Chains A and B, each alone.
Chain A
Amino acid sequence: EDQVTQSPEALRLQEGESSSLNCSYTVSGLRGLFWYRQDPGKGPEFLFTLYSAGEEKEKERLKATLTKKESFLHITAPKPEDSATYLCAVQATGSARQLTFGSGTQLTVLP
């Protein structure tokens, strides 16, 4: 059974204080690992898809990395508008392309 574990559950940062969110996963075969941002009461907003160990992708202050067991979402010099819940999900090979989600990390960036 595919499993995704995110840590920490909640993270409070001061504006400009860089940090990383962790996503550990077990999957029979990885087709892709996804990062999403979700604001309260809204659907998830697509950030990145990573496909193979060693891959990295960047978008503004966010950088996602992938190993064979985990992924990190690095947030550099965050701003209050980065406050949201960040969700990690895996898509397994042989699946019908559905995603298995972690429980998310709730990030709060204080001004």
Chain B
Amino acid sequence: GAVVSQHPSRVICKSGTSVKIECRSLDFQATTMFWYRQFPKQSLMLMATSNEGSKATYEQGVEKDKFLINHASLTLSTLTVTSAHPEDSSFYICSAGVGQWGNTIYFGEGSWLTVV
């Protein structure tokens, strides 16, 4: 079946540095991918919609200059957390849809970010 892969699965970075998380669709093309954030014991909150070849669409309250999204190809979207702070520590998950309407939506394995 369709697979979405994220890398890295875990990353620790120092405050003030930037970290990049990759999301790949392994056996299908995805013109649109989605980035979610999940805090412990809470549900997934949509951060932004990543559009291949154009600017990402950010949800209200998400700083686009802090969470840079690039969707340079039909199989790769990247999320860069810039000038990371401890409060950015979280579980970040991407997703992509397959099928006629993109209605079978698969998620990546998630990436744990810890900012120290």
Q: Do A and B come from one complex?
A: yes
Which residues of A approach B to under 8 Å, CB–CB? 31-32, 34, 36, 41-46, 49, 51, 87, 89, 91, 96-104
Closest residue of chain A to B112 (Cβ to Cβ) is A41
**Taking the nearest CB of chain A, how far is it from the CB of B105, in angstroms?**
6
Decide: A46 near B104, CB < 8 A? Known: A41-B110, A97-B97, A98-B34: yes
Counting from the closest, the 6 A-B pairs by CB-CB distance are: A43-B107, A43-B110, A101-B43, A44-B107, A103-B43, A97-B102
The answer to whether A96 and B57 have CB atoms under 8 Å apart is yes
The answer to whether B42 and A103 have CB atoms under 8 Å apart is yes
The answer to whether B103 and A32 have CB atoms under 8 Å apart is yes
Closest residue of chain B to A100 (Cβ to Cβ) is B46
- B44 contacts which chain A residues (CB < 8 A)? 44, 87, 89, 99, 101
Per-position contact with A for B22-42: 1 when CB-CB < 8 Å, else 0? Answer: 000000000010100000001
Closest residue of chain B to A103 (Cβ to Cβ) is B43
Interface centre among A44, A51, A89, by most chain B C-beta atoms within 10 angstroms, is: A44
Taken together as a complex, chains A and B put the C-alpha atoms of A107 and B44 apart, in Å, by 17
Taken together as a complex, chains A and B put the C-alpha atoms of A91 and B102 apart, in Å, by 10
**Taking the nearest CB of chain A, how far is it from the CB of B61, in angstroms?**
14
- B49 contacts which chain A residues (CB < 8 A)? 96, 98
The answer to whether A91 and B108 have CB atoms under 8 Å apart is no
The answer to whether B43 and A104 have CB atoms under 8 Å apart is yes
**Contact among B6, B42, B57 for A43, CB-based, below 8 A:** B6
**Taking the nearest CB of chain B, how far is it from the CB of A40, in angstroms?**
10
B90-116 interface with A by 8 A CB criterion: 91, 93, 95, 97, 101-110, 112
- A51 contacts which chain B residues (CB < 8 A)? 103
The answer to whether A43 and B93 have CB atoms under 8 Å apart is yes
Taken together as a complex, chains A and B put the C-alpha atoms of A91 and B93 apart, in Å, by 17
30 pairs of residues in contact across A and B, judged by CB atoms under 8 Å: A31-B103, A32-B101, A36-B107, A41-B91, A41-B110, A42-B109, A42-B110, A43-B6, A43-B107, A43-B110, A44-B107, A46-B104, A49-B104, A87-B44, A91-B103, A91-B105, A96-B32, A96-B49, A96-B57, A97-B102, A97-B105, A98-B46, A99-B44, A99-B105, A100-B46, A101-B43, A101-B45, A102-B43, A103-B43, A104-B43
